[in-house]
């Protein structure tokens, strides 16, 4: 399995607080059958000028100490704002391994009018947004067709394993299930923040539930085939039934 959303880098955001916790998270993920993790911190408060080099150093430190066989790649969970397109072009914000794929977090409590315009600009600049945990957005909970429209424009979606397990409340749980039922999910990821509590770097329990909803072959695609294509920078637009012309956004 591949986990493309994980806050495993130590001391960077609200994820792992130190290298010991990062190592515990890697060991837990390996025990769950995860082979590759993309570290996706929210931000880099210490060295904004060169986040890629900073993240690489942290990644290498924990990988060496953990003695696991898990591969750790680099990305970032980017909170959407009108500054994001410029930040991506200037490489102050990280895409997945410097590919076209970027993990974008929507606001939790609204869906401002400018969001669609920013997503369109990101696409025009040659990037493909992956919308992180849309099931946690209150407007998507009211109208999941927001996500249908996003995917029709060539973007991808990632739901949290914890949402399927009810860890983020009934509304997020029900919306995650509805998105699965309508084939509006491309990836399931952990969004792990810790080796303790409920935001753990594990996928298997949620995949059992997802498999009963959408079929286990589809679930395999969501945690293996599609994440691998993302990591390798391969196009997935045809797979989600969209046009390759991102200017149509």
**How many angstroms from the chain centroid is the CA of residue 203?**
13
Identify the CA nearest to 187 among candidates 195, 176, 198, 196: 176
Q: How far apart are the C-alpha atoms of 33 and 25, rounded to whole Å?
A: 13
Q: Kindly state the average pLDDT of the residues 209-231.
A: 97
Q: Is the pLDDT of residue 247 over 50?
A: no
Share of the chain above pLDDT 70, in %: 92
Q: Kindly state the average pLDDT of the residues 187-191.
A: 99
Share of the chain above pLDDT 90, in %: 80
Sequence ranges of the domains in the chain: 2-248
Q: How far apart are the C-alpha atoms of 90 and 80, rounded to whole Å?
A: 16
Identify the CA nearest to 150 among candidates 240, 47, 223, 50: 240
Per-residue pLDDT reduced to its tens digit, 16-42: 999 999 999 999 999 999 999 999 999
Q: Is the pLDDT of residue 50 over 70?
A: no
Report angle CA 48, 50, 54 to the nearest 5 degrees. Answer: 95
- Please, are residues 70 and 38 in contact by the beta-carbon 8 Å criterion? no
Higher-pLDDT residue of 143 and 244 is 143
In this prediction, residue 179 carries a pLDDT of 98
Residue with tokens 């739901």: 159
Residue with tokens 């993990």: 103
Residue with tokens 């960077």: 12
Name the least confident of 62-66, 125-129, 210-214, 236-240: 236-240
Q: Kindly state the average pLDDT of the residues 68-82.
A: 94
Classify burial at 245, counting beta carbons within 10 Å of its beta carbon; exposed 0-12, middle 13-18, buried 19 or more: exposed
- Please, are residues 96 and 231 in contact by the beta-carbon 8 Å criterion? yes
Q: Is the pLDDT of residue 240 over 70?
A: no
In this prediction, residue 56 carries a pLDDT of 83
In this prediction, residue 64 carries a pLDDT of 77
Q: Is the pLDDT of residue 117 over 50?
A: yes
- Please, are residues 182 and 156 in contact by the beta-carbon 8 Å criterion? no
Q: Kindly state the average pLDDT of the residues 72-87.
A: 95
Name the least confident of 42-46, 154-158, 162-166, 206-210: 42-46
Pick the CATH number of 2-248 from 3.40.50.300, 3.20.20.140, 3.40.720.10, 3.30.310.160: 3.20.20.140
Q: State the chain's maximal CA–CA distance in angstroms.
A: 47
Mean pLDDT of the chain: 91
Q: Is the pLDDT of residue 49 over 90?
A: no
Residue 179 tokens, joined: 């998105």
Residue with tokens 């040659």: 126
pTM higher than 0.85 for the full model? yes
């Amino acid at each position: 399995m591949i986990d493309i959303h994980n806050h495993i880098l130590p001391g960077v955001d609200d994820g792992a607080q130190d290298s010991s916790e990062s190592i515990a998270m890697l060991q837990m993920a390996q025990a769950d059958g995860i082979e590759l993790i993309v570290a996706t911190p929210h931000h880099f408060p210490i060295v904004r000028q060169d986040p890629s080099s900073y993240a690489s150093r942290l990644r290498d430190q924990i990988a060496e100490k953990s003695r696991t066989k898990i591969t750790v790649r680099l990305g970032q969970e980017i909170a959407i704002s009108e500054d994001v397109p410029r930040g991506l072009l200037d490489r102050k914000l990280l895409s997945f391994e410097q590919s076209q794929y970027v993990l974008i977090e929507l606001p939790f409590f609204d869906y401002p009018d400018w969001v669609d315009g920013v997503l369109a600009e990101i696409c025009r600049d040659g990037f493909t947004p992956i919308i992180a945990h849309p099931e946690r957005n209150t407007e998507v909970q009211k109208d999941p067709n927001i996500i249908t429209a996003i995917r029709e424009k060539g973007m991808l979606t990632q739901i949290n394993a914890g949402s399927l397990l009810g860890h983020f409340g009934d509304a997020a749980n029900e919306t995650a299930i509805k998105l699965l039922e309508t084939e509006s999910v491309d990836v399931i990821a952990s969004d792990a923040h810790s080796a303790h509590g409920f935001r753990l770097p594990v996928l298997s329990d949620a995949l059992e539930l997802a498999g009963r909803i959408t079929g286990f072959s589809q679930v395999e695609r969501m945690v293996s085939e599609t994440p691998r294509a993302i990591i390798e920078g391969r196009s997935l637009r045809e797979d989600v039934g969209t046009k390759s012309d991102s200017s149509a956004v």
